[in-house]
Amino acid sequence: MAAPPVSRGVPTRSARDAEAVPTVAVRRTGDLTEIELLLLWALVREAFGGELSQEDWAHAQGGLHVVLSEGDQLISHAAVVPRTMLAGGRPLSAGYIEAVATRPKWQKQGHGSAVMRAVGTIVMSDFEMGALSTGAHGFYSRLGWESWRGPTYVQSATGRTRTVEDDDSIMILRTVRTYDLATHTPLVCEWRSGDAW
């Protein structure tokens, strides 16, 4: 499918046009109303079949939401949240991707890819690298994401702990500021409640 237009803010096209064309909008969590957040949570929960906890959804807040809609139908979503990581021994500002989801009846039509391409543009302009945790490496590798090969850790106030169970799930997106980062080196994220990655 052709890439939908991307706007940072509320779509400005007429309601008639919006019914016909998928539109990608980028919104800050803080600019969303409670109702808008609930509607996005409903979209994400439907896509994950109830697998995603409230805590996982909380991890998707505090940054940007990329939302693909058609008319008043919310179809696809991904969040980009700022995190600091230690990669190959140096600190990097990471755009961490959460809650990538397309409503089941709209899947396999390119909407998730369109959202992830918009996510890639945000990562390239606002962060030193992108990072995410997934079991669906093929979906992201088509879009330029690379599997991390090195050991993963979480850093808390009391020290650094290995997260062996996450070693095979982390992917990164390089930006011009990541350049020669080697993916077989240690990768450390900061602690948060719930799943570290």
Ligand X SMILES: CC(C)(COP(=O)(O)OP(=O)(O)OC[C@H]1O[C@@H](n2cnc3c(N)ncnc32)[C@H](O)[C@@H]1OP(=O)(O)O)[C@@H](O)C(=O)NCCC(=O)NCCS
Per CB under 6 A, does 41 bind ligand X? no
Q: Does 147 bind ligand X (CB under 6 A)?
A: no
Return the residue nearest ligand X (CB atom).
112
Binding of residue 120 to ligand X (CB under 6 A) = no
* Residue with tokens 């807040």, as numbered in its chain: 61
Least distance in Å: CB of 89 to ligand X?
Answer: 27
SS3 content of the chain, % helix, strand, coil (to 5): 30, 35, 35
Nearest distance from C-beta of residue 121 to ligand X, angstroms: 16
User: One-letter amino acid identity for 109?
Assistant: Q
Q: How many residues sit in the footprint of ligand X (CB under 6 A)? A: 18
Element (H, E) at 154: strand 152-156
Residue 117 main-chain phi, psi, to 5 deg: -70, -40
Among 29, 73, 93, 107, binds ligand X (CB under 6 A): 107
Residue 164 neighbours by CB under 8 Å, 6+ apart: 151, 152
Least distance from ligand X to the Cβ atom of residue 25, Å: 16
Report the first-to-last Cα separation within the chain, whole angstroms.
31
Confirm or reject binding of residue 111 to ligand X (CB under 6 A): yes
Among 29, 84, 93, 134, binds ligand X (CB under 6 A): 134
Binding piece for ligand X, criterion CB under 6 A, among 17-25, 54-62, 98-106, 181-189? 98-106
The yes or no reply on residue 76 touching ligand X (CB under 6 A) is yes
Burial of residue 126, with CB atoms counted within 10 A of its CB: 0-12 exposed, 13-18 middle, 19 or more buried: middle
Q: Is residue 42 near ligand X by the rule CB under 6 A?
A: no
Candidate segments 58-66, 95-103, 120-128, 184-192, binder of ligand X by CB under 6 A: 95-103
Closest CA to 154 of 140, 133, 176: 133
| Under rule CB under 6 A, residue 112 binds ligand X | yes
